Amino acid sequence: MAITIKDVAKKANVSIATVSRIINNKPGYSKETEIKVLEVIKELGYSPNSIARGLISKRTHTIGVLVPKLSSMLTNEIIRGIENITHQYGSSVIVCHTESNGQKTMQYLQLLHEKQVDGIIFASTSLTEEYYQFIENKGIPIVLLSTKSDQFPVPYVKVDDEVAAYTATEYLIKKGHRTIGMLSGNRDDRIAGKPRVDGFIKALKNYQLSVNEDHIVSFHGFSFHDGVNCFQQLIHQIPDVTAVFAASDEMALGMISAAYEMGIKVPEQISVIGYDNLSIAEMSIPPLTSVAQPLCEMGEAAAEMVFEVIENNQKVNSQICAHHIVERKSVRSL
Amino acid sequence: MAITIKDVAKKANVSIATVSRIINNKPGYSKETEIKVLEVIKELGYSPNSIARGLISKRTHTIGVLVPKLSSMLTNEIIRGIENITHQYGSSVIVCHTESNGQKTMQYLQLLHEKQVDGIIFASTSLTEEYYQFIENKGIPIVLLSTKSDQFPVPYVKVDDEVAAYTATEYLIKKGHRTIGMLSGNRDDRIAGKPRVDGFIKALKNYQLSVNEDHIVSFHGFSFHDGVNCFQQLIHQIPDVTAVFAASDEMALGMISAAYEMGIKVPEQISVIGYDNLSIAEMSIPPLTSVAQPLCEMGEAAAEMVFEVIENNQKVNSQICAHHIVERKSVRSL
DNA sequence: ATCTTTAACGTAAACGTTTACGTTAAATAG
DNA sequence: CTATTTAACGTAAACGTTTACGTTAAAGAT
């Protein structure tokens, strides 16, 4: 059925070893047999079976990416970056949407191991002891993306969320705002929750502005609907708020919609800065000012890192990526 | 290093054949050796190497998905559907972003073949002769998603874009609109371009409304920016337009933004219906009425179909999926 | 008591490669 | 002209499985 190296060898009147040497250009054959064999290969349309190759080389040229339930735009950017580099290295990626489900995550880890992936990129999820032990035990190279571990020595690439939140809040302060609220999403989230709240509080305290629990409203998630709900609560708790920092662009959009419904003008009456700089940020009315993570570049960096440890088998340093604020029109100066 | 079936066999004092039989539960062993072996497996943390398995079974339990450069939200939904089913079948998916680049597409096809994927889902791209010949030649099961081929007998799942466009236009007409424009994106696009224009024209003609080239403005793509550009041109060509059909939600959002800039109220002064029903449709101001494709379900259907042909090795029927209009607030009745 | 069946294994080939090692003949050295 | 090197191969083992086939001993049939 499928054409194997044997077929090529037979038709070219050489041994399979010679064919192998030629397609891998290792020394050991004459120019004329080379062209002969290459001719046969073209003629038969032969291409090597990477499964068989993988069995002996112990490299599958495949890496696994685990992503939780995130905004599709976020994951897409990250994966695009990863795929860019992966493709450059002649490898491909198996994407696993864990849906933030621990059981599913373990299933996928098991599957990736059985498929003998060369490495794993673990995105935006806390690395539990169970995950770590498994991966460590199997000896699979791994790098964390948009998350990090305090307990385990695993390299990561992420932005400093606390600092980014601080910057965003400071931006509002420097625009003259004094009563600032935050839509924090899920505060228990160890990545997008707590650090951003901490940065927010730190900024306000540093500028001697008042901040208490009324200024921060949280909910289950970071979605559009969470944004409208949280904003309704916020405006009720501190009616004189003039600016808000939303922990995600989707929440920011939710807030803008809610404000619109309530007849509150953005940015005339209330300003808002988002987080993520998704493509929708520029599509909103008004266009949304947002703190941007270099998602695609981060994906690329993470991929570079796994390949670094795969190919050179050496430890690699973590990376803190720079964030920046993309100014659009949702914040006005007082 | 890694634990193989041999290690298990040795430690359990049985042959590798017996271990193999047990993990695949084929008959030929006693209850007691079974528990013994299972014990050893647990103790060593053994799990079978699917590469070795694949070599002999000719199944890799992997399918490849080729997607072009699309709105991230579109691809995400599609892939989510595909992954749902794939995971159910104990398989995984290799996602290949072709960036709508023919050369890259061929590279990926080659790669997928070398990796011996069990099947391929080919999304939203015209199946060229080159692609088809390759896949046909290698004998890889394939199904088309959101596209179809007139020349080649390849099963597909898609919505009927022309009918959907007709429905959308008819919707506007039934709301009382008489001067209707279209933002068509790239008219040469065989999937999202021509059929939607055709449906648009057909609806207008059917209702004896005027339609000529001025009513349709096209551009390179289907993006937000294309939407603003096209709308500016449209309003210039037919200033008395009261409703527009946009070939994508992103274009519709672009149009809304452009209208906002020009001081034209949506839907008070001009109505708009989009296409795709992305998550952003409900986030816009006003929330966007849009024609919805059941993207996730389509992904699932396509996946079911490949597995059907993979496992039962039989021909499978194409599927036309139902679209529907999601009414929100961007269209008003006249 | 002998023959046949069958349960419970083990042996070895096969899957499609890569690669260490062996072999041959020609080329080079002396 | 003989000895040594080397280019150009071929042979066969190995990677980790599955599976067809062979073997053994116990159970059942006669």
CA distances (Å), A202 to each of A133, A160, A176, A209, in order? 35, 14, 17, 10
pLDDT of residue A313: 85
State the Cα–Cα distance between residues A203 and A201, nearest whole angstrom.
5
**Beta strand pairing status for A289-292 and A324-326?**
antiparallel
Q: Model's pTM, two decimal places?
A: 0.91
> Is the CB of B115 less than 8 angstroms away from the CB of A83?
no
- The pLDDT-based confidence of A1 (bands split at 50, 70, 90) is low
pLDDT of residue A70: 78
Please state which CATH class domain B60-159+295-322 belongs to: alpha beta
Please state which CATH class domain A59-159+295-322 belongs to: alpha beta
What single-letter DSSP state applies at residue B121?
E
Out of B47, B79, B250, closest to residue A113 by CB:
B47
Write the burial class of residue B32 (CB in 10 Å: 0-12 exposed, 13-18 middle, 19+ buried): exposed
Start-to-end CA distance of chain A, whole Å, equals 75
By C-alpha distance, which of A90, A86, A142, A87 is closest to A113? A142
B201 vs A100: which has the higher pLDDT = B201
**Residue-wise pLDDT tens digits, A242-269:** 999 999 999 999 999 999 999 999 999 9
Q: How many CB pairs under 8 A join A and B?
A: 111
Residue A183 has pLDDT above 90, yes or no: yes
- The pLDDT-based confidence of A334 (bands split at 50, 70, 90) is confident
Domain boundaries, chain A: 5-48, 59-159+295-322, 161-293
pLDDT of residue B313: 85
**Residue-wise pLDDT tens digits, B281-316:** 999 999 999 999 999 999 999 999 999 999 988 899
Protein-strand D interface by C-beta, 7 A: A 13-18, 27-33, 52, 55-56; B 2, 4-6, 16-17, 20-21, 23-24, 26, 46, 48-49, 52-53, 55-57
Please state which of the ranges A71-75, A82-86, B20-24 shows the lowest mean pLDDT.
Answer: A71-75
> Is the CB of B47 less than 8 angstroms away from the CB of A110?
yes
pLDDT of residue A314: 87
What single-letter DSSP state applies at residue B293?
P
Interatomic distance A18 CA / C26 C1' (Å): 19
- Domain pair A5-48 / A161-293, same fold: no
Residues of A in contact with B47 (CB under 8 A): 110, 113-114
Mean pLDDT (whole number) for A310-314: 89
Mean pLDDT (whole number) for A307-323: 94
Please, what is the Cα angle at A38 between A34 and A43, to 5 degrees? 150
Q: Specify the CATH architecture of the domain A5-48.
A: Orthogonal Bundle (1.10)
Residue B24 has pLDDT above 70, yes or no: yes
- The pLDDT-based confidence of A73 (bands split at 50, 70, 90) is confident
State the Cα–Cα distance between residues A272 and A288, nearest whole angstrom.
8
pLDDT of residue B191: 83
- The pLDDT-based confidence of A145 (bands split at 50, 70, 90) is very high
- The pLDDT-based confidence of A22 (bands split at 50, 70, 90) is very high
What is the average pLDDT score of chain B?
Answer: 94
Out of B2, B110, B285, closest to residue A285 by CB:
B285
Out of B55, B139, B285, closest to residue A55 by CB:
B55
Mean pLDDT (whole number) for A109-129: 96
Interatomic distance A36 CA / D11 C1' (Å): 22
pLDDT of residue A210: 86
**Residue-wise pLDDT tens digits, B144-185:** 999 999 999 999 999 999 999 999 999 999 999 999 999 998
Shortest Cα distance, chain A CAs vs residue B331, angstroms? 17
State the Cα–Cα distance between residues A58 and A36, nearest whole angstrom.
30
State the Cα–Cα distance between residues A181 and A242, nearest whole angstrom.
8
Percent above pLDDT 70 for chain A: 100
Alpha helices in A24-151 (DSSP H): 31-44, 50-57, 72-88, 102-114, 129-138
State the Cα–Cα distance between residues B158 and B150, nearest whole angstrom.
14
**Residue-wise pLDDT tens digits, B175-224:** 999 999 999 989 988 888 999 999 999 999 999 998 889 999 998 889 99
Q: Specify the CATH architecture of the domain A161-293.
A: 3-Layer(aba) Sandwich (3.40)
- The pLDDT-based confidence of B1 (bands split at 50, 70, 90) is low
